[in-house]
A and B are shown apart, each in its own frame.
Chain A
Amino acid sequence: MMQQMKHDRVLVVSIVVLLTFNLTLLAFFPETHILPIYGGSFLSIVTSAFAAIYMFRAVRAFKTFDRVKLSWFLIALTMLLDCIAETGYTVQRLVFNLDMNELFPGAFDYLWLVAYIPTIVGFSLIILGYKRSGLPMGNLKSYSVWVVGFSILILVVSYFLLIPIWNDATLTSIERFFYMIFPIADLLTVVLAITLLYQVKHFGKGAITTTWLFMIVGLMLFTIADLVYSYLTWLDTYELGNVIDVAWNVGYLSIALSGSNQYRLIQRIQKGGRK
């Protein structure tokens, strides 16, 4: 019988250290202080690197290149692209001292946008694969609750963000496109994450439940952070070290935990198969 899986100790200790550092910066230094700005930048690069490393580790654990491995590879690719974008953004801001609000959309905003595509495709493949597995999908009535909730979310995001951006005559076409496309892509990601969450709720306590829950939490945190970021950049008030950076950092680390869990699950099964 498979034992309860323990989390990777190195990863857990790293998460505690990184988040303690992040929260200390926020608690004891004003946002405009140099420490949260540099410390926050360092954290965003490190946490996204953790997500990429642990996700690619999980990808490598799958021996056969099938739809499942492809799904995980695509999500890992998003983490890698995000890490590159985080690094590039930081270099532009802190090394070249560029005003990122004035520069928006910068080169790495294009990369962040492209990075949505593999995750959306990867999650879609997971959900389609689950549907084909013959396992319970739940009933239509339960989905209707989710549809109502999502409709409310769209209305709120549209009212507070999308419509004001659309009506802002001071924006260029490319600025308007980027200010709007990020929240739209986030809403699409939330649809997929909540659909997966709904499927996970059929599972009960198990290794895959934890794995997928970490993934879903990560995506939801990204969505929240992205929506707030879109709003703040539109108002030209976002700066590195902002409190919403915590949501991204925790999101990346949550995805790293998901990758770690999946890797250990595959290893356990393969070890059991070699006995």
Chain B
Amino acid sequence: MIQYNNQYALKIYEMISPIVGEILAHGALTSQCNKIDIAPEQIDRGHLRALSAGFQQALGIFVGTEGAKIISQQIETL
């Protein structure tokens, strides 16, 4: 399992890795953070809205619009 020191990164990773797998969860977290010019270890509360929007788009193909929205809301309210 990939370890994160940042509590938000860890919680997001723990939330999505059971769905998409550890490798893709790590990749998705990294790529979503890159889109807002931060590293996963730099996530703070102010980044959650932007990240949740990115994850909503990324996860939709796996769990549908409604499922992706639920997960993104959970990320936003971490």
Q: CB within 8 Å of B: which residues of A?
A: 1-4, 62-64, 66, 68-69, 126, 129-130, 132-136, 202-209, 265-266, 269-270, 272-273
Residue of A126, A208, A272 with most chain B CB atoms under a 10 A cut-off: A208
Q: Hey, which chain A residues are within 8 Å of B66, CB to CB?
A: 62-64, 270
User: Which of B23, B54, B74 meets A202, CB within 8 Å?
Assistant: B23
Whether A208 contacts B74 in the complex (CB less than 8 A), given A63-B66, A64-B66, A269-B67, comes out as no
In chain B, positions 6-25 with a C-beta closer than 8 Å to chain A are 14-15, 17-25
Which residues of chain B are near A63, meaning CB under 8 Å?
A: 64-66
Q: Which secondary structure characterizes the binding site on chain B?
A: helix
A126 CA / B64 CA spacing, docked (Å): 11
**How many angstroms from the CA of A204 to the CA of B25 in the assembled complex?**
9
Shortest beta-carbon distance, A126 to chain B, in Å?
Answer: 7
B residues whose Cβ falls under 8 Å from a Cβ of A? 14-15, 17-25, 27-28, 31, 35, 54, 57-67, 70-71, 73-74
C-alpha spacing A135/B25, complex, angstroms:
10
Given known contacts A1-B18, A133-B57, A269-B70, is B23 in contact with A204 (CB within 8 Å)?
A: yes
Smallest beta-carbon distance B29→chain A, Å = 11
Could you say which of A4, A135, A266 contacts B64, with CB atoms under 8 Å apart?
A: A266
**Bound complex: CA A247 to CA B24 (Å):** 31
Q: Give B14's nearest chain A residue, CB to CB.
A: A1
Q: Which residues of A contact B31 (CB under 8 A)?
A: 134-136
- Contact for B19 among A69, A126, A206, CB less than 8 A: A206
Question: Are the C-beta atoms of B58 and A133 separated by less than 8 Å?
Answer: yes
Determine the chain B residues whose CB is within 8 A of the CB of A126 once the complex forms: 61
Choose from A2, A4, A130, A273 the contact partner of B61 (Cβ within 8 Å). Answer: A130
Question: Which B residues lie within 8 Å of A205 (CB)?
Answer: 21-22
Q: Which residues of A contact B65 (CB under 8 A)?
A: 63-64, 66, 68
Contacts of B73 in A (CB 8 A): 273
